[in-house]
Amino acid sequence: MVQPGFWDDKETAQKVQQKRSQLQRAVTTWSDLNKECEDLGAMIELAEEDEDESLIAEMKSAGTELKEKVAQAEVKAMLSGKSDFNNALMTINSGAGGTESQDWAQMLLRMYTRWAERNGYKSEILDLQYGEEAGIKSATINFTGDYAFGYLRSEVGVHRLVRISPFDSNKRRHTSFASVFVYPEVEDEIDIEIKEDDLKIDVYRASGPGGQGVNTTDSAVRLTHVPSGITVQCQNERSQFKNKASAMKVLKSRLYEFEMEKQDEEKRSLEKHKKKIEWGSQIRSYVLHPYRMAKDLRTNVEMGNVDAVLDGDLGSFIQAFLMQSKSQGVEE
């Protein structure tokens, strides 16, 4: 960065700056943890010498806080995949079951946006297809922040909800499904060529809850990449131009992941956890009746406070998944 002419190419300079910031944050995390360990060691020595009850209480509190920070750093250290540092694009699709599953898909959308708020990530809804009566048929969300894809790739699969249906007048228990998949947002320096001739572009009027129109112009955009069959759509913006740009970003990421799955053996671990998005390959169950429990079927991690989970408390599930993936990777 101190070389003459560094700022002549602003685009390259910005990328170098971003890389430097990423590395600096990693170094700062290590330095801060090291300093806190030293400070805690000094505090323990003082507590042993003075037998000060208030100092002992402070020492225990500092130890608990440091333990949590170290655990978070350990999880982050496991995020070493090629795309783990990238932003993430998530798609949520409701399963069979109409209103029940569409309401469950909307609950998942809230869960992930709350997770983003809790962990300092920015979330932006790029596309939202509402159900006829309630809930959503599908959603596409962009999560922005360091390691967004690394964390959220643990959520790929089918999610199952068991509850007394709020839409059933007989108050019967229902099981609903929704699928989630996560793609890394492709960095600008990765060249994904999309030929105009390979695209089918449809424009239509954006719709809101119950199918009502939310715009007077055909601003929503659907892109179909004919060779791969991949279809993406965006209706979040009022501008057709902006919606097309967002849809192209999603399509580029989908195509990148599609190509990597075909060519790169390192992506096989992601494919292994992805399974097939079918109703029967669920990765996690959320039971609200007759008992209350959220359980990950891959790691067997359970949480009794399912309300907290649905409010975005996913840390235990994500950490266990990453640790399991890491250990399986070492064995292989």
Give yes or no for residue 263 having a pLDDT over 80.
no
pLDDT at 2: 87
CATH architecture of the domain formed by 196-263: 2-Layer Sandwich (3.30)
Q: Do residues 155 and 182 make contact, with C-beta atoms less than 8 angstroms apart?
A: yes
Structure token digits, residue 95: 């399963």
pLDDT at 267: 47
**Amino acid sitting at position 205:** R
pLDDT at 100: 94
Cα pseudo-dihedral 112, 174, 287, 116, rounded to 10: 0
Q: What CATH class has 88-188+266-331?
A: alpha beta
- Encode 80-109: b = buried (16+ Cβ within 10 Å), e = exposed: ebebbbbbbbbbbbbbebbbbbbbbbbbbb
Give yes or no for residue 137 having a pLDDT over 70.
yes
Lowest mean per-residue pLDDT among 26-40, 111-125, 261-275: 261-275
Average pLDDT estimate for 138-143: 96
Give the separation between CA 109 and CA 92, rounded to whole angstroms: 7
DSSP 8-state secondary structure symbol assigned to residue 5: T
pTM over 0.75: no
Using a pLDDT cut of 70, give the percent of the chain over it: 89
Q: Where are the domains of the chain?
A: 6-77, 88-188+266-331, 196-263
Structure token digits, residue 77: 């250290």
Average pLDDT estimate for 189-196: 74
Give the separation between CA 88 and CA 57, rounded to whole angstroms: 41
Q: Is the peptide bond before 209 cis (omega within 30 degrees of 0)?
A: no
pLDDT at 217: 64
**Tens digits of per-residue pLDDT, 303-327?**
999 999 999 999 999 999 998 887 7
